[in-house]
Amino acid sequence: MKSLMIDVTTHTNGYSLAIGKDEFMYYTAEGLLAGFSVRLGLERLHTMNHREIDRLMDAARDGSLPKRLQKEVDALNAQIKEQKKLIAQLRRENRELKQKYEDEEPLRYRN
């Protein structure tokens, strides 16, 4: 992650965490620590809400985090594999169409 301005401020009703131009509000010290870990440690500034952060922190505490992350990696790898197959198929179709139109006699118009 590039160098960012990080500011933690204590308010009467909780804590705010400012990372660059983004600001996040937490109502407990534990929530602030979890948000700090996820937002900065995992570089997920815009992809997780408080509930998702809590579930991720629970997974880290009970040891299931590596399994969860591996499951996410496996799903993404499967998606990449399918997309590569689709790209190969589209390239084949493109070559076939190109060959078909190159083999045809060009149209000539007379005035």
pLDDT tens digit string along 39-52? Answer: 777 777 676 777 87
Which tokens hold the place of 24? 């996040």
How many whole angstroms separate alpha carbon 15 and alpha carbon 24? 8
Which has more pLDDT, 30 or 105? 30
- Supply the pTM of this predicted model: 0.47
What residue has token string 């809590």? 54
Which tokens hold the place of 66? 């590596």
Return the SS3 of 23.
Answer: strand
pLDDT tens digit string along 2-36? Answer: 677 888 999 999 999 888 888 888 899 888 888 88
Please list, in sequence order, all residues whose beta carbon lies within 8 angstroms of the beta carbon of residue 34, skipping any fewer than 6 positions away. 26, 53, 54, 56, 57
